[in-house]
Structure 1
Amino acid sequence: MAAVPNFFFAIIVSFLCFSPSHAAELKNHIPTVILGLSHAKAILPTPKSTSYSKTKPSEMQDMMEPLREIRDGYLISLNIGTPTQVIQVYMDTGSDLTWVPCGNLSFTCIECDDYKNSNTMAASFSPSSSSSSLRDSCSSPSCIDIHSSDNYYDPCIIAGCSLSTLLKSTCSRPCPSFAYTYGEGIVTGILTQDTLRVHGSSSNPSGGTNVFREIPRFRFGCVGTTYREPLGIAGFGKGHLSLPSQLGFLQKGFSHCFLPFKFANNPNISSPLVLGDQAISSKDQMQFTPMLKCPMFPNFYYIGLEAITLTNINTSSPEVPVSLREFDSNGNGGMLIDSGTTYTHLPEPLYTNLLNALESMITYPRAKEVETRSGFDLCYRIPCLNNNALEDNDGLPSITFHFLNNLSLPLPQGNSFYPMNAPANASVVKCLLFQSMDDYEGGPAGVFGSFQQQNMEVVYDLEKERIGFQPTDCTLAAASHGLAKV
């Protein structure tokens, strides 16, 4: 998606009820999924280096949080405030800031009718109902970061501090309202600190989520108005404001095992998210690929894609451009791994070449009307004799991604072609759930989305700066963590 024009940004911000006085810098945008099964993708400004008081990793216990799957991502429950208020937000490895909708009656989401009609709007946080809620100060490192200021006095100047108080560092005015831009959305709010309660991990499968730890002074955005952002976000990037950073896990890591689409909105099973030693220890059997260091977006997770192969065919595999494993002089390139983007995006002409290679060897009839209706580019009518839309022996080719360090990752069944409807007349329509990086204007050359990460354990080893993949039955992983109810 093309970058949001400045005049459009100005119109939207002026319409928002917080009337922010200092908007975050608008960067180039990662192209976003434009279909119904995806939400807007975060593009966060790169903060200046600041000094934080952090909890030592050795003092931190492991964490295990359940992730609930909905139609376009995975939700993590944030237990915030005193008494605790439970707010469900997206778990997003492609951004830093954690924010929640604020104001039970006053939270407004513009152009979110699709979400309102599907009853996926989340509950809102009420800071006035929490005895431990405080607005962050203008001089805090968090406030400086969220405003992306080159001068740490700027947020306090915006807040109305005098020069004498600035020089004496005695100004205690609150952090000014902020605006954050996303690929297709904007949020505006105030920086808040409050107590966050997280689940400790346990080796007992039946009690993996029953031990709480309190994290005081957790910083997050209290957002009153958004544009195309109906739910909050828990940022899992490498920046100071991210959830792993504030909890002291950036020197360790985390892992997740996303359940497949068929479990969406199922209250009886959740995907396991593990943070700490348990997430990265005893993983030597896994294949790892190095994290690439992007000079443009250093807080995001990049990996290098070397090749894509299609099995059981004689057609030559499409050539992968070097931009998917290297950065240019401006920091563009690489493949972003992102739980906040639903489908994998590939650049042109790689995307079209992949479609052509698949089309040349699939003999099933095309479902053109489904392509038009859904927006996906390759849909077929597949025989379904047993009325099992998810059966593995559908005759479609499997797709393998080859990442740097000789990591070969065969995508699990169902992570490429997926049924669009229930079986009818002994057939089912399946579509390729990949998308093109339309209107590419810089940033990552490709995105590895959450749909293609289903039914695999993904390990973010932040200490060794590598990401591991292991095809896994995530229903069994959920059961082993006590997250599946019979």
Structure 2
Amino acid sequence: MATPAFFICLSIILSSISISFSQILLLPLTHSLSTVQFNSIPHLLKSITARSAARFLRHRHPHRQVSLPLSPGSDYTLSLSLGSHPPQTLSLYMDTGSDLVWLPCHPFECILCEGKYNPNPAALNLSSTAAPATCRSRACAAAHSSLSSSDLCAVSRCPLESIEVSECDYFSCPPFYYAYADGSLIAKLYTDSLSIPMSSPSLILKNFTFGCANSALGEPIGVAGFGRGVLSLPAQLTDFSPQLGNQFSYCLVSHSFDANRVRLLSPLILGRYKRKEQLGQAEPDFVYTPMLDNPKYPYFYSVGLEAVSIGKRRIESPPRLKRVDRSGNGGMVVDSGTTFTILPSDFYESVVAEFGHRVGRGHNKAGRIEERTGLSPCYYFDDRVAKVPVVALHFGGNSSVVLPRRNYFYEFWDGGDEGKGKKKVGCVMLMNGGDDSEGGGPVGTLGNYQQQGFEVVYDLEKRRVGFARRKCASLWESLNQG
């Protein structure tokens, strides 16, 4: 990985009084598997499918107890620094499915975290410039979404006469419980200076609000939430610089779990850039789909999936996947933190049945591989490249995304040593979300594996998500040098 000295050391100080910022902010995303040794592809796939399934269940049932897998997932991290004299740098997961930035703070207890990926040498020690968020702050109300500021100040033991005249500035926001897709935590809100040392140009953001967790379940690292909430990183950037916060995009390098390619950096871009001037006229334009509002889960980037095409056959999605109802049920979440795309059971069965109809003839099902990977269907092939149909996703707004073959069909060798006795196997990289008749929330997830090789843009101002094919490693080099 490049060191901070590699980047332009121009520091842009953002303040709430005045700001002039015309450039994008470019950050490197590091794949969580870049430092993990994985010798068995089936074992790796099994751990990732388990993590994707657990995350999907937490999306639908945030308050239900869900068994959290201890094995690593396929996620992306970025580096943030908090405090001063000196600032402390930590790696956090970049997560569009969460609206909170939180970090593990000393002393830190992590439950069910044995063996989990953790690039951080230690938890955060709050600096002398850190200050508790007050009970009357907008951030405190956002963290405690069901309580009014008066209730929060009462919990913080602010006297009644002070509550009545809104003079509780010296009373801090009480601790809060936060459940997200990969776990849960108890934290307090603080403000301090935030810097992004690996960005180009570098950034210092004063009075940044974050969660300081002393205990967490299932996640030792911390999360940089990019969801649709006032505590997310884009939202806090918008308060200071609309040019930076109103749009962000990322381009995940296609890796197919290759040990060398997972080490390549993927660009995360905050703000707008002139793509035609930067990348050339030959680059494809974006296709956009509208964001759907979800009253129950307002921080999700929900979209409508209209259909999936397998070859020339278009399979219509069920109505609940196309829209979100008034109770917050339905739709598909575009999620950077889930690896594999998940579809509701009946629709998934229709999609893989059509795929199997076109591929399964003449090829044996690899049932043992399906059990070992958690993926289905899987087939045995000979040494030739398997012939598989083209898969396209059709979203609301008449936008279609044709997936590269490697985004939905993964081929690898199974068994034997040094090529002897090995069999070539191929698996469909989609997952069954199960019966969605119980509970609520989103019924599908667009995972990061299917997003590889696309620049995915979240246009918060125009309330839309866009997709465009890119060579993501080249995009990183082009923007970083430009």
1:210 to partner: Cα distance? 4.7
User: Among 14, 25, 32, which residue is 1:63 paired with?
Assistant: 25
Look up the equivalent residue of 1:155 and give its one-letter code.
L
1:155-166 correspondence runs (5 A): 155-166=152-163
What is aligned with 1:91?
94
What is aligned with 1:388?
none
Deviations 1:339-382 (A, max 9, x none): 11121110120011112112222132222112112222222223
Look up the equivalent residue of 2:110 and give its one-letter code.
C
1:375-390 correspondence runs (5 A): 375-384=374-383
Look up the equivalent residue of 1:240 and give its one-letter code.
V
Deviations 1:31-74 (A, max 9, x none): xxxxxxxxxxxxxxxxxxxxxx9677865752111100124111
- TM-score scaled by length of structure 1: 0.77
1:150 to partner: Cα distance? 3.7
1:272 to partner: Cα distance? 0.3
Distance 1:412 1:352, change over 3 A: same
The alignment of Structure 1 onto Structure 2 pairs a total of residues equal to 407
Secondary structure, counterpart of 2:167 in structure 1 = coil
Secondary structure, counterpart of 2:476 in structure 1 = helix
Look up the equivalent residue of 1:408 and give its one-letter code.
S
- Give the distance between the partners of 1:431 and 1:73, measured in 2 at CA: 21
User: Among 416, 420, 429, which residue is 1:433 paired with?
Assistant: 429
- Give the distance between the partners of 2:102 and 2:365, measured in 1 at CA: 43
1:23-422 correspondence runs (5 A): 59=21, 61-71=23-33, 72-82=74-84, 83-103=86-106, 106-115=107-116, 119-120=117-118, 122-128=120-126, 130-171=127-168, 172-183=170-181, 185-198=183-196, 209-248=199-238, 249=242, 252-261=246-255, 262=257, 269-278=264-273, 285-311=285-311, 316-362=313-359, 363-384=362-383, 393-419=385-411
Look up the equivalent residue of 1:299 and give its one-letter code.
Y
Structure 1 residue ranges without an equivalent (≥5): 1-52, 201-208, 386-392
Moved more, 336-345 or 360-369: 360-369
Look up the equivalent residue of 1:461 and give its one-letter code.
D
1:337 to partner: Cα distance? 0.7
Secondary structure, counterpart of 2:148 in structure 1 = coil
Distance 1:88 1:422, change over 3 A: farther
Equivalent residues of 2:245, 2:270 under 8 A apart:
no
Moved more, 183-192 or 282-291: 282-291
- Give the distance between the partners of 2:115 and 2:373, measured in 1 at CA: 15
Look up the equivalent residue of 1:278 and give its one-letter code.
Y
Secondary structure, counterpart of 2:388 in structure 1 = coil
- Give the distance between the partners of 1:141 and 1:411, measured in 2 at CA: 41
The Cα RMSD (Å) is 2.7
- Give the distance between the partners of 2:194 and 2:295, measured in 1 at CA: 32
Equivalent residues of 2:414, 2:422 under 8 A apart:
no
What is aligned with 1:445?
443
- Give the distance between the partners of 1:65 and 1:222, measured in 2 at CA: 23
Structure 2 residue ranges without an equivalent (≥5): 1-14, 34-73, 278-282
Distance 1:272 1:457, change over 3 A: same
Equivalent residues of 1:259, 1:474 under 8 A apart:
yes
Secondary structure, counterpart of 2:450 in structure 1 = helix
Distance 1:474 1:65, change over 3 A: same
Percentage of pairs with the same residue: 36
Distance 1:126 1:294, change over 3 A: closer
Equivalent residues of 2:102, 2:211 under 8 A apart:
yes
Q: Is residue 468 of structure 2 the alignment partner of residue 470 of structure 1?
A: yes
Deviations 1:403-445 (A, max 9, x none): 1222121112211122455784464323222112235321112
- TM-score scaled by length of structure 2: 0.78
Equivalent residues of 2:407, 2:449 under 8 A apart:
yes
- Give the distance between the partners of 1:263 and 1:246, measured in 2 at CA: 36
- Give the distance between the partners of 1:60 and 1:195, measured in 2 at CA: 22
Look up the equivalent residue of 2:248 and give its one-letter code.
F
Secondary structure, counterpart of 1:318 in structure 2 = strand
